[in-house]
Amino acid sequence: MPRGKCRVCGREAEYWVPWANAWFCHDHFIEYYDKRVRRVWEKYFPRGHRKVLVAVSGGKDSVALLYSISKLLGDSGLYYHALFIDLGIPGYSRESLRIVEKNAGRLDIEVEVARLSDYGFTMEDVYRLVRARRIRRPVCSICGMVKRYLMNRYAYEHGYDLVLTGHNLDDMIGFTLSSIVSGRIEDLVKLKPYVEGSGNLVARGKPILFMYGVENKWYVEAVDAEIVGGQCPFRAGESSINVELRDAVLAADKKHPGLAILMARNIVDKLIPRIRAPEKKLKSCSVCGYPSSTDPCGFCRLRERVSALLSSQE
């Protein structure tokens, strides 16, 4: 396709955005992206938060989130820092932290680090035990649980009242369809762009839930941000059903640009409000005191098991 002119200023454009049916120059692409994030913020996030943590892994999605949301949070006069979770993945965690610090430094944002090793183990220990079949659960699923736990606990202990993550549109589509396929309809409520907190459960939000993965990639290029190059060395491949369903929708989106956004919007605005999630009474974990559907919570059970297995190996 020959390069067009920017829809806003008429200058030579750099980005063709099919779902906007428009070309944008560098600056106006950034503006277009920021406006869409701002709309999500204004529509779904209540006012009144004071201290915000932006969880940044160093990947394209959360780095795009950090750049875009920092303008908005700064304008709103909110106190905010970035959060990096150091899972103790050899090489990868250190490199990711370097990249998060580099981006945050450019934006003049402080980085806080939550360390899994403070709890006596690392994801490397978990990985080894999974490989040795001493723990039977996929390592990425354990890692996801650990990250959610640490994000919430760190935020609560340091007085934050909102945690933001970089979940994107592509993943939300894959997650939705695979939840439908397997009948886990209540799981869809996890896709709300904003979930309020209570007690020691801190509110959570996903401001770039309606942004395509590829848009986040263009955005980090446009703002000239650095992102983590490789993949997590422990990554065992995503659940293939998720990926295939996601790719099927993204392929349909190529012929009908914006289809995935429309679908996501309807999931959030029409479908989720109709789901009557069974009253899952959250208990407080008798070990750590954080909310969980089981007692002890998943994190404390993991911690206990890893520590027992590691000491039996000594």
- The widest CA-to-CA distance across the chain, in whole angstroms, is 69
Nearer to Zn ion among residue 89 and residue 297 (C-beta) = 297
Q: From CA 37, how far away is CA 206, in angstroms rounded?
A: 10
Binding of ligand AMP at residue 56 (CB under 6 A)?
Answer: yes
Binding of Zn ion at residue 20 (CB under 5 A)?
Answer: no
Binding of Zn ion at residue 6 (CB under 5 A)?
Answer: yes
Strands 283-284 and 203-205: unpaired
Virtual torsion, Cα 216, 62, 175, 275, nearest 10 deg: -110
Question: In this chain, which residue has its C-beta nearest to ligand AMP?
Answer: 166
Mark the segment that binds ligand AMP (CB under 6 A) among 19-27, 45-53, 79-87, 276-284: 79-87
Nearer to ligand AMP among residue 87 and residue 260 (C-beta) = 87
User: CB under 5 to 8 A by kind: which of Zn ion, ligand AMP, none does 209 bind?
Assistant: none
Q: CB 155 → ligand AMP: shortest distance, Å?
A: 11
Q: CB 29 → Zn ion: shortest distance, Å?
A: 8
Binding of Zn ion at residue 306 (CB under 5 A)?
Answer: no
Q: CB 159 → ligand AMP: shortest distance, Å?
A: 18
210, 214, 206, 209: which is closest to 17 by C-alpha?
214
Q: CB 270 → ligand AMP: shortest distance, Å?
A: 25
Binding of ligand AMP at residue 85 (CB under 6 A)?
Answer: yes
Nearer to Zn ion among residue 208 and residue 300 (C-beta) = 300
Virtual torsion, Cα 294, 300, 305, 307, nearest 10 deg: -170
DSSP state of 234: T
Strands 111-115 and 79-86: parallel
Q: CB 35 → ligand AMP: shortest distance, Å?
A: 21
Binding of Zn ion at residue 120 (CB under 5 A)?
Answer: no
Q: From CA 65, how far away is CA 37, in angstroms rounded?
A: 9
Contact 82, 109 (CB under 8 A): yes
The separation between the first and the last C-alpha atoms of the chain, rounded to the nearest angstrom, is 63
Mark the segment that binds ligand AMP (CB under 6 A) among 55-63, 124-132, 184-192, 259-267: 55-63
- Restricted to residues 255-294, the positions that interact with Zn ion (CB under 5 A) are 285, 287-288
Question: The tokens of 263 are what?
Answer: 């679908």
Nearer to ligand AMP among residue 2 and residue 229 (C-beta) = 229
Q: From CA 14, how far away is CA 213, in angstroms rounded?
A: 18
